[in-house]
Amino acid sequence: MAATLLAISLVVFVIINLPPGDYVTALQSRYAAQGQNLTLQDIENLRVRYGLDGNLLQQYWHWFTQIVVHGDLGMSFEHEKPVSQVIAPRLGWTLAVSVITLLVTWALAFPIGIYSAVKQHSVGDYAVTTVSFLGLATPNFLIALVFIYFSVTWFGSVPSGLCSPEWCDASWNLGKLLDLLGHLWIPMLVIGTAGVAGLVRIIRNNLLDELRRPYVTAARARGVPEGPLLRRYPLRVALNPFVSTIGWVLPLLLVGDIVVGQILSLPTLGPILLGSLKSQDMYLAGSIIMVLSVVTVIGTLISDLLLGWLDPRIRLMGAQGARQ
């Protein structure tokens, strides 16, 4: 795991530094756009100040040791704050939006997927299949744009952010909560459609594979009633591929949907990551990507452990394999 993370950190750092120029060149062009020119001396001073004067390896080493030894993610050039302070306030919102979206997605996708598999070739199944293909094929940002279009033409306002201006700075009370819920359903719906659609397909296909297995017929032949039969037999097996997706769901939870976040100006990490990449704010970008990688690795670990707990084949055959 540690080795994986080390390799990821190196790759991340190199990729961030691949485009020509660095934060200072980005800064320079911004000043130039405003009609101000930086002297060579200014540029040199800035480079030294941000630690951009060494070669790539030195920069990497500096960044890496700071994280490992001091837990210091570095400074964000763009925000002129420590990276941790840029990320922290948004992390809560991101998690809130994502977790709620995820729970709603699961709550919708599970019953729909199961229904669609059990009643294969029924009208309901065809309807679900059609809608879920539409949901899968439509990019999230397009749905977000359509939403904005309709809310502007019908209500004359743009649904952005997670709270109305008058509530944003207020302390928590019922009014703010209601206001939040009033805003939350939009990103939930936008991000959720593709999620539900994808998950319905996964569950339907997994379950369809399992429903044809001999053990289902055998269980039916010994009188297991249909309801428990579905729950105890094919559904348990169909759950496995689903559990193994947790590894990549976790990082999605953290960063949120980048493009949708940008369009709906959600206070999530996604837009920050995009901005930092654009301005080559390498410590911020690097830190966010590193956090995501750590979460991915942890998520994979969690789903592996869950799989081992759910599936005795993995638990027991793995142990046998290790002994041989």
Partner 1 sequence: MEQPLLEISGLHTSFGTYDGKVRAVDGVDLSVHAGRTLCVVGESGCGKSVTARSILRLVEEPGSIDAGTITWNGDLLEGTGEPFDVLALDPKDKRLQKLRGGDIGMIFQEPAASLLPLRTVGAQLVETLRIHTGLDKKAARAKAIELLDTVGIPDAGRRVDAYPFQLSGGMCQRVMIAIALCANPSLLIADEPTTALDVTTQARILDLIRSLQAEHHMAVMFITHDLGVVAELADEVAVMYLGRVVERASVEELFADPKHPYTKALLASVPVLGRDRGRDLPTIPGAVPGPLHRPGGCSFHPRCAEAIAGTCDVEAPPEVDFGGGRTAECVLYETEEART
Which spans of this chain sit near partner 1 (rule: CB under 8 A)? Answer: 120-121, 212-215, 217-225, 232-233, 236-237, 310-313, 316-317
Question: Min. distance of Cβ 307 from partner 1 in angstroms?
Answer: 11
Closest to partner 1 by CB, 70 or 121:
121
The per-residue b/e assignment along 286-319, b for 16 or more CB within 10 angstroms, e otherwise, is bbbbbbbbbbbbebbeebeebbeeebeeeeeeee
H-run or E-run covering 46: helix 40-49
Smallest separation (angstroms) from partner 1 to the CB of 179: 46
Token pair for 280: 């080559």
CB nearer partner 1, residue 37 or residue 320: 320
Of residues 35 and 227, the one with the C-beta less far from partner 1 = 227
Parallel, antiparallel, or unpaired: how do β-strands 75-76 and 81-82 relate? antiparallel
Least distance (Å) between residue 250 CB and partner 1: 25
The minimum distance between CB 214 and partner 1, in angstroms, equals 4
Residue type, 274: L
Eight-state DSSP code of residue 121: T
Bridge partners (DSSP) listed for residue 81? 76
Min dist CB 303 to partner 1, Å, is 17
How near is the Cβ of 301 to partner 1 at its closest, in Å? 22
Q: Please say which residue, 162 or 230, places its beta carbon nearer to partner 1.
A: 230
Instruction: Determine the Cα–Cα distance for residues 23 and 280; give it in Å rounded to an integer.
Output: 5
Nearest CB to partner 1, comparing residues 146 and 317: 317
Using the minimum distance from each CB to partner 1, give the nearer residue, 120 or 164. 120
* DSSP per-residue codes, 127-172: HHHHHHHHHHHS-HHHHHHHHHHHHHHHHSS---SSS-HHHHTSPS
Nearer to partner 1, 161 or 241 (CB): 241
The C-alpha R_g of the chain, in whole angstroms, comes to: 25
| Dihedral angle sign, alpha carbons of residues 291, 292, 296, 297 | negative
Compute the least distance from the CB of residue 159 to partner 1, in Å. Answer: 45
**CA 140 – CA 147 distance, rounded (Å):** 11
